[in-house]
Amino acid sequence: MSHIRGSHHMTLSVGGAQEDVDFHVGTLGMRFIKRTVLFDGSLPIYHLYYSNAAGDPSAVLTTFPWRQAGLVGRRGTNQAREVLLSVPSGSLGYWSRRLVEHGVDVFDTEVFDRHRVEFRHPSGIEYVMVGVDDDPRVGHAGNGVPPEHAIHGIHGVGIHVATPERMVEFSEEVFHSQGKLVEDGDRAAFRVGEDAPGNHVELIADRSDDQGTWRYGAGTFHHVAWNLETLENQDELKFEIEGGGYTDISELKDRKYFKSVYVRTPAGALFELAVTHAEGGWTCDESPHELGTRFQLPEQFEDRREEIFSKLEPIEATK
Ligand SMILES: [Fe+2]
């Protein structure tokens, strides 16, 4: 039985905080649902969360802006690279025009015989709009995006990998891939877990790029989180993964809004197994209407609130 219920969130290392807010809230019209900090280490770094109208777990993109700390990463192979976003097929033309109007270069491509719109985050991370017609998730009509065109949420992740076979093996043996592997040139696609939003994985065979960096650094994907729904599911899958010999897996970490373990996959991409537990969720410290309006800190950092806040660049979400 599979325990994976689609995507939970994706986390990216980006450059400046304000340019990241402007991109997700201003250009993409996403909903700013949480502003907090990186929980690991002691350096004050924002952790910013964006989502669709309901804040569905499968629609959340989160970012660590590293410009102030001066950390830059390198995109390459053996690394998650592409943020695949789900929009209605008929909205791809709208997004192409809107992105250009906002000064973003777009590339119209055809993958698996379907039109896609490719573009980049200001830090260089690759984003792709994929047309999906039966997506039930309601997009957030922010900053003038008409509701019928709004982004439903995450469609999946594109991972560059030198030896895709090892990642296919991992997916089949312990990560509950399903359906046929569909191939288009260097790209192979499959789904993981149950039929749930955001469960698409695309592997791009890439033997030409140098290996990308895994540490924190602007311009790189950090990890993709899958929705395990319950702590029991999470625990069972963790044991299955370890039992398969993939022992590079972390202990359980409390992320306040959810609880997670992290596993380094044979593709280099870091996978997180996330559970929004009963005491968590986006509304555990803000009402549904106030989401993202106040700076939130986990308990262990509360006594450093002033110091942390004074070290972070001010950000404004006016849109
Ligand atoms: Fe995460």
Tell me the pLDDT of the chain averaged across its residues: 95
**Percent of the chain topping pLDDT 90:** 90
Ligand 1 centre and the CA of 143: distance in Å?
A: 26
Q: Tens digits of per-residue pLDDT, 216-227?
A: 999 999 999 999
C-beta atoms surrounding 204 within 10 Å: 18
Ligand 1 centre and the CA of 272: distance in Å?
A: 6
* pLDDT at res. 41: 81
Kindly write down the DSSP assignment for every residue of 33-84, as one continuous string: EEEEE--SSSS--EEEEEE-TT--GGGEEEEEE-GGGT-B----BSEEEEEE
Q: Which architecture does CATH list for 7-311? A: Roll (3.10)
Q: Tens digits of per-residue pLDDT, 275-315?
A: 999 899 999 999 999 999 999 998 888 899 999 989 999 99
Which of 292, 300, 173, 185 has the alpha carbon at shortest distance from 242? 173
pLDDT at 98 over 80: yes
Q: What is the pLDDT averaged over residues 78-86?
A: 98
Ligand 1 centre and the CA of 100: distance in Å?
A: 30
269 touches 79 (CB < 8 A)? yes
* pLDDT at res. 319: 53
Residue 18 backbone dihedrals phi, psi, to 5 degrees: -65, -40
* pLDDT at res. 318: 67
Instruction: Report CA Rg, the chain.
Output: 18
Q: Tens digits of per-residue pLDDT, 12-27?
A: 999 999 999 999 999 9
* pLDDT at res. 179: 78
Ligand 1 centre and the CA of 47: distance in Å?
A: 10
Ligand 1 centre and the CA of 11: distance in Å?
A: 6
Q: How far is CA 178 from CA 154, 173, 185, 258, in A?
A: 18, 11, 20, 26
293 touches 43 (CB < 8 A)? no
Ligand 1 centre and the CA of 226: distance in Å?
A: 9
Helices (H) and strands (E) in the chain, counts: 5, 16
Q: What is the pLDDT averaged over residues 108-134?
A: 96
Ligand 1 centre and the CA of 262: distance in Å?
A: 9
* pLDDT at res. 298: 87
Q: Tens digits of per-residue pLDDT, 163-193?
A: 999 999 999 999 999 878 899 999 999 999 9
Ligand 1 centre and the CA of 191: distance in Å?
A: 20
Ligand 1 centre and the CA of 110: distance in Å?
A: 30
- Confidence category of residue 1, pLDDT binned at 50, 70, 90: low
* pLDDT at res. 317: 85
* pLDDT at res. 290: 92
**Percent of the chain topping pLDDT 70:** 99
Q: Tens digits of per-residue pLDDT, 238-267?
A: 999 999 999 999 999 999 999 999 999 999
Ligand 1 centre and the CA of 101: distance in Å?
A: 31
